[in-house]
Structure 1
Amino acid sequence: MLEEARDGLIDLRHEPDDARGVADRALRLVRLGKLEKMGLATEHAPGVWELGEQLEPTLRELGERGDIIRTMQKVTRADGFERDPMTFDIHSAAPETPIVGRVVDKYLSDELGENLTVVVDGIDGHVHHMSGVEPSKLEDARIGGIIEIGPPSAGRPSDHTIAGVAEDGIYRPSRHREQVRFEGRVPGGDYDGFVDAHVRRLEALRRVGIVERLDADQWRIPEDFERQAAAYDAGRSRQANIRILSTFDLESQIAADGATWLDRRLVAGGISDLAPAGFGQQVNAAMARRRQHLIDQGDAIRQDSGRVVYRRNLLAALTEREVARAGTELAATKSMPFRAVVDGESVGGTFTGTVQLSSGKFAMVEKSHEFTLVPWRPVIDRQLGHEVAGVVQGGSVSWQLGRKLRTRLVTDDVRQTMS
């Protein structure tokens, strides 16, 4: 009918001599009646119909939506959980409020493999469908693992800090370092690493012409620095922000020896955001089982009032325990022993790979005679197979890369030669 329409009009008035077209005309009229109810066709005179301009794209969208719903029903059933299609949310853009849930499915959205689609069973009781996701963002997301999908960043806190520290359009790392040391608000006390992270941000913005590096301790910052930086980020990607909260499913987390996503929820407390049905209900049950496991292990006690009190620094203690166990197991497969690092210690060696634990992702750093596991950060991914160095502070690592690392290695070589 779209091909036969002239100026959007199609004439289906009865023609007595066209006996062969009677059945076809009847079918078309039935279809047009359906389209009229959908607001996609209008009968202006008996047998003369106008097809809506949005008829084809609307029907195509509805068809795609139907395919998506059938896919969502199929994957949730295959996963062993029946979900009401009324709880299916199909997102064509990044959500305005964060979505937290388990990964039910992920698959390629196009033949080129440039985008992925992810289906998430949310703690809000809804099943969410998000397409057009960069594969790198879901690289560590396993089926059953927990992720968070949030809105694109509207602006980085680091940009706001840089603008606030700058004086007369000049940002000085040395001045920033003095300020944070005086205020003492940096987690773990890693002041150098905190300021270095801001300098790395400026290096990225310098390459696109937003800021100018005058010397090692001076950066020229434009008056509308925050607006330009936010526009740059928005231009690079309008996709949703995705965080991997846990690569382990709920069942694996319940008896894990590390600091799990369930533990972080238990320790945080506060008002529950779990729906009383669907995955929210499953998380609530898993938290109760994990709580009892911690009590059985001596990491928590239940008081007479029924209140559960967790051991001091529970997350850090669990992480240390798991890293020690994982390191010992890895040492059995390697030709070198494992050594645990302590807070404030410097680490250095060759970055040889990563390990996924319930406590998070860890980088393996090897020396000639030993190896260690330290918290991973995206900044070192490009250093795989190369020398890295850093300082462990507050459950993270301040990595020294590029020129700072080369300077340190040269200094270490000189010291070894002199000794």
Structure 2
Amino acid sequence: MSGDDEINIRPGRIRSKTPVKGKSFVARVLAATQKAGGLHRFGARGSSRGAFGRGRAASLGALRGLSSGSRGVVVKARVVRHSQKSVPLSAHLSYLRRDGVTRDGAPGKMFDAASDVADGRAFAERCQGDRHHFRFIVSPDDATELSDLRAFTRDLMNDISRDLGTTIDWVAVDHWNTEHPHIHVLVRGRADDGGDLVINRGYISRGFRARAEKLVTLELGR
């Protein structure tokens, strides 16, 4: 794995009657996040590479129970390698907290598993010695119907932590400045045993989205 790795995750069932808007939303979000570091696609890889990493078995289990009636969630994933040439994580965090992203147009506020006021600077400092970190954008099709996007995010990250068999160090911010509210989640690339957190490609491309869709469907129904 070299450079910044991005995985495009296939969206769930599109519930909107205007799919063009859905595409423009993804394009707008990606264009915005590119300002904070750029996006690069994965290079060609052998199929055996997908067998490595945490969550391989869990990615299959997460898909059980999903059907065409499940609520859809769009997920974008990116693995960012740390190097002298990469944009500092602190700069990306500042961008995510910029003015105008909340419901009332105020600056965004980071939150984490335990608090609605997370210390983004401390998170960036913890990541300094790591090889990489993960960036996820999670956008439920029916985000405006969910009672609490932050509670949804915490439940989602708890499920993912259990699937990966490690405590996850993460921070997030919810954005309401587009047609589709969404959450930016940053995950430290370090497992609780001190080693690099390597997530199976199948889990990133299927398991993560499946967990999110199950949570939305559980709250809102099919």
TM more than 0.5: no
| Larger relative strand fraction | 1
TM-score (norm 1): 0.16
TM-score (norm 2): 0.25
Is the radius of gyration larger for structure 1 or structure 2? 1
Q: Which has the higher contact order (CA 8 A, sep 6+)?
A: 2
